[in-house]
C-alpha cells in the first residue's frame, strides 16, 4: 500500500478535480459515506461531531447529515467559528443549517456533550494543518480526548500527515478512517499511536491520479511484501538456497552469533557458515549442530580472520553478515575494509559491524559489495553524528539521505522500521514493543542474510526480513507478552515463510 505526504494527497485531490473533473463535493460526500459505514458498525446511540473550518470539517458536516437521515442523535460543533467556513465545507454546513440544526461553538457545551456521547467524531484538522496547533484548538483537542470513544476523520487532529509529529497537542483516536492512501502520519512517530486502528477507504478518486503521483513509499498491506516469497521447485537441494556466512561473536558474547545462525537456518538458508573466534567453538557447536564452522584465531578474545580464512569466505559466500556480537576492536576495521574492497555480492553490516564502520563511513563509497546496514537509532547516531532523538523524529529522511550519500541500503530499526535505497522507501508496521529485547536484532540479521542466500535481492530481503521478523514477534507476543525472547521470534519464522 502507498504512503503519501499531505502534498502528495493535495496533488492527487487536485488532479482528480481539475484533470479528471470529479467535483470536490462528490469526494467529500464519499468520504462522509466511508466514515458512516464504520460508525454504523460501532452502533452508537448518540454522536458528537467536532468540525474545524476546513475541508476536514466539511467531511464532518456531510457526515452529520447522513447520520441524521438515519435517525441517530447528532450534535455538531464547529471551532473556532462557523462563519469562517468556505467552499465545499460551507455547502455542507449550510445544508445542516437549512435542516434546522444548531451548530455550536461553545467549549463548555462540548465538554458536557463529550461526556454523554457514545462516540465523538474528530473532524477538526486534517491534512491541511500547518504549524503548531493554535491555542484555541488545543483546548478543543483536550476536551475531545476526554471522550469514551473517538473516531478521527482522515488523521487525528494535531498530527502532521508528513511525519507523525504531534504539533503541540493531538487527538488520541480509537479509530481513524482515512481516504485513498495511508499518510506518513498514520505509521510514524506519535501519529502511529494517536491514530489507533486505521482504515483506508476509497472515495472515488480515479486510480490514475494516484499512479501519476509516482509514489515511492510503500508499507505492508495488500499482500505486500509476502507475495515476493517464491515457491520452491520440487527438484532442488541445499545448494539452491545459498551458502550464507555469519561473521560474529567474541569471547564474552557467543549468544549473538548463535542466534543469527539459528535464525538463518530457521528461515530456509541451504548452508549456514559460522565464522567466530575459536574459544566459543564448543558452545556454538553444541547449540547449532546444523551449521558449518570456521573457528578463527583470536587477538585479545576478538576474532582475527587470517588471509586463508578470508579467501574461503570471499570465495564461497553467496551472502555475508558481518557484525553480530563481534566486539569493536581496531583491527576489525581493516577486515571490514578488505571485505568491502574484495567481495562483490551482498553484505549485511549489523551491530558491532556498524560500530566498526563508524570509524570511517567513507569506506562504503568504494565498496564493491552491495551493502545493507541495519542500525538501531543509537547505531545510526554513531554513523551520522546526529542525536537519537532527531533520528527518531526524522526516520525516513535520515535513512534516505544516508543511503543516497553512501550508495547502500539502510534498514533503520525500531517501531516503524524504515528500509530505503535512498529513493524507494518501505515502512514496516509489524512488530511490537515486546521485541525490544536483547538478541532480537541478531535474529533479524540471520533472517535477512538467509533470504539473500535464497536469491532475493538486497532491498526485498531487507523488506521481507523486517516484515517477517515483526510478524514472528507479534505471534510470540500472543504467548509471551513482554516476556518474549529472541528465540521465540526466530522459532516462528518458518511458520510465516511456509
Ligand X SMILES: NC(=O)C1=CN([C@@H]2O[C@H](COP(=O)(O)OP(=O)(O)OC[C@H]3O[C@@H](n4cnc5c(N)ncnc54)[C@H](OP(=O)(O)O)[C@@H]3O)[C@@H](O)[C@H]2O)[C@@H](O)CC1
Ligand Y SMILES: Nc1ncnc2c1ncn2[C@@H]1O[C@H](COP(=O)(O)OP(=O)(O)O)[C@@H](O)[C@H]1O
Is 186 a residue that touches ligand Y (CB under 6 A)? Answer: no
H-state helical runs in 204-329: 207-211, 255-266, 281-287, 307-316
Nearer to ligand X, 130 or 362 (CB): 130
In the list ligand X, K ion, ligand Y, none, the entry touching 318 (Cβ below 5 to 8 angstroms by class) is: none
Q: Which one of residues 117, 145, 152, 263 is an interface residue with K ion (CB under 5 A)?
A: 152
Which listed range, 157-165, 190-198, 213-221, 438-446, lies at the site for ligand Y (CB under 6 A)?
A: 438-446
Residues between 399 and 428 that touch ligand Y (CB under 6 A): 413-415, 417
Q: Residues 248, 456: contact at Cβ < 8 Å? A: no
Which listed range, 20-28, 111-119, 273-281, 432-440, lies at the site for ligand Y (CB under 6 A)?
A: 432-440
In the list K ion, ligand X, ligand Y, none, the entry touching 380 (Cβ below 5 to 8 angstroms by class) is: none
Q: Which one of residues 431, 446, 447, 485 is an interface residue with ligand Y (CB under 6 A)?
A: 431
Q: Which one of residues 48, 157, 178, 220 is an interface residue with K ion (CB under 5 A)?
A: 157
Nearer to ligand X, 153 or 259 (CB): 153
CB of 62 to ligand Y, least distance (A): 36
Strand partners, 75: 48
Query: Among 357, 311, 313, 315, which Cα is nearest to 334's?
Result: 357
Gap between the terminal Cα atoms of the chain: 23
Cis peptide, bond prior to residue 163, ω within 30 of zero: no
Q: Residues 171, 141: contact at Cβ < 8 Å? A: yes
Q: Dig out the grid coordinates for 34 from the structure.
A: 466511508
Nearer to K ion, 75 or 421 (CB): 75
Collapsed DSSP state (helix, strand, coil) of residue 481: helix
Nearer to ligand X, 192 or 243 (CB): 192
Instruction: Give CA 47 to chain center in angstroms.
Output: 33
Handedness of CA 283, 286, 291, 295 (dihedral sign): positive
Residues comprising the binding site for (6S)-NADPHX? 55-59, 126-132, 154, 256, 325, 376, 442
In the list K ion, ligand Y, ligand X, none, the entry touching 137 (Cβ below 5 to 8 angstroms by class) is: ligand X
d(CA 156, CA 124) in angstroms, rounded, equals 9
Collapsed DSSP state (helix, strand, coil) of residue 206: coil
Residues comprising the binding site for K(+)? 56, 122, 157
Nearer to ligand Y, 370 or 392 (CB): 392
In the list ligand X, ligand Y, K ion, none, the entry touching 27 (Cβ below 5 to 8 angstroms by class) is: ligand X
Q: Which one of residues 8, 190, 442, 488 is an interface residue with ligand Y (CB under 6 A)?
A: 442
In the list K ion, ligand X, ligand Y, none, the entry touching 384 (Cβ below 5 to 8 angstroms by class) is: none
Q: Which one of residues 11, 105, 279, 432 is an interface residue with ligand Y (CB under 6 A)?
A: 432
Nearer to ligand Y, 176 or 392 (CB): 392
Cα distances (angstroms) measured from residue 319 to each of 62, 141, 378, 445, 459: 56, 51, 25, 12, 14
Question: In sequence order, what DSSP letters do the residues of 85-146 get, joined into one string?
Answer: --HHHHHHHHHHHHTT--EE--HHHHHHHHHH-SEEEEES--TT--SSPPHHHHHHHHHHTT
Collapsed DSSP state (helix, strand, coil) of residue 270: coil
In the list ligand Y, K ion, ligand X, none, the entry touching 28 (Cβ below 5 to 8 angstroms by class) is: ligand X
* Residues at the site binding ligand Y, with contacts judged by CB under 6 A: 351, 376, 413-415, 417, 431-433, 435-436, 438-442, 444, 469-470
Amino acid at each position: 500500500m502507498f504512503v503519501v505526504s499531505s502534498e502528495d494527497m493535495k496533488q492527487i485531490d487536485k488532479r482528480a478535480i481539475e484533470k479528471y473533473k470529479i467535483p470536490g463535493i462528490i469526494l467529500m460526500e464519499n468520504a462522509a459515506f466511508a466514515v458512516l459505514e464504520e460508525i454504523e458498525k460501532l452502533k452508537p446511540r448518540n454522536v458528537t461531531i467536532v468540525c474545524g473550518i476546513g475541508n476536514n470539517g466539511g467531511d464532518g458536516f456531510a457526515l452529520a447529515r447522513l447520520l441524521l437521515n438515519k435517525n441517530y442523535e447528532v450534535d455538531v460543533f464547529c471551532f473556532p467559528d462557523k462563519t469562517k467556513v468556505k467552499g465545499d465545507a460551507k455547502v455542507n454546513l449550510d445544508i445542516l443549517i437549512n435542516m434546522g440544526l444548531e451548530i455550536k461553538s461553545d467549549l463548555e457545551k462540548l465538554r458536557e456533550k463529550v461526556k454523554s456521547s457514545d462516540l465523538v467524531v474528530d473532524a477538526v484538522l486534517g491534512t491541511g494543518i500547518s504549524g503548531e496547533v493554535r491555542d484555541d484548538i488545543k483546548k478543543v483537542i483536550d476536551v475531545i480526548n476526554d471522550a469514551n470513544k473517538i473516531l478521527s476523520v482522515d488523521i487525528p487532529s494535531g498530527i502532521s500527515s508528513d511525519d507523525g509529529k504531534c504539533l503541540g497537542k493531538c487527538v488520541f483516536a480509537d479509530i481513524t478512517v482515512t481516504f485513498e492512501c495511508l499518510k506518513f502520519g498514520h505509521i510514524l512517530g506519535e501519529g502511529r499511536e494517536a491514530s489507533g486502528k486505521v482504515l483506508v477507504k476509497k472515495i472515488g478518486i480515479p486510480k490514475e491520479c494516484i499512479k501519476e503521483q509516482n509514489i515511492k513509499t510503500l508499507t505492508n498491506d495488500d499482500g505486500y511484501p509476502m507475495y515476493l516469497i517464491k515457491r520452491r521447485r520440487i527438484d532442488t537441494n541445499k545448494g539452491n538456497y545459498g551458502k550464507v556466512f555469519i561473521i560474529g561473536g567474541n569471547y564474552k558474547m557467543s549468544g549473538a552469533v548463535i542466534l543469527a545462525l539459528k535464525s538463518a537456518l530457521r528461515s530456509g538458508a541451504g548452508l549456514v557458515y559460522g565464522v567466530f573466534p575459536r574459544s566459543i567453538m564448543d558452545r556454538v557447536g553444541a547449540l547449532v549442530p546444523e551449521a558449518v564452522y570456521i573457528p578463527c584465531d583470536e587477538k585479545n578474545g576478538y576474532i582475527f580472520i587470517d588471509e586463508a580464512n578470508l579467501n574461503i569466505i570471499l570465495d564461497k559466500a553467496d551472502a555475508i553478515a558481518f557484525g553480530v556480537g563481534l566486539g569493536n576492536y581496531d583491527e576489525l576495521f581493516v577486515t571490514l575494509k578488505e571485505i568491502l574492497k574484495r567481495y562483490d555480492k551482498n553484505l549485511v553490516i549489523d551491530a558491532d559491524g556498524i560500530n566498526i564502520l563508524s570509524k570511517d563511513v567513507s569506506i562504503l563509497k568504494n565498496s564493491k559489495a552491495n551493502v545493507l546496514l541495519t542500525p538501531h537509532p543509537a547505531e545510526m547516531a554513531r554513523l551520522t553524528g546526529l542525536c537519537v532523538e532527531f533520528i527518531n523524529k526524522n526516520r525516513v529522511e535520515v535513512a534516505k539521505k544516508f543511503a543516497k550519500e553512501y550508495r547502500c541500503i539502510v534498514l533503520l530499526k525500531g517501531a516503524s522500521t524504515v528500509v530505503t535505497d535512498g529513493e524507494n522507501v518501505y515502512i514496516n508496521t509489524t512488530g511490537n514493543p515486546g521485541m525490544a529485547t536483547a538478541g532480537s536484532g541478531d535474529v533479524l540479521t540471520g533472517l535477512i542474510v538467509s533470504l539473500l542466500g535464497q536469491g532475493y535481492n538486497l532491498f526485498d530481503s531487507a523488506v521481507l526480513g523486517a516484515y517477517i521478523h515483526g510478524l514472528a514477534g507479534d505471534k510470540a507476543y500472543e504467548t509471551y507478552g513482554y516476556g518474549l525472547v529472541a528465540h521465540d521470534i526466530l522459532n516462528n519464522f518458518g511458520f510465516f515463510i511456509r
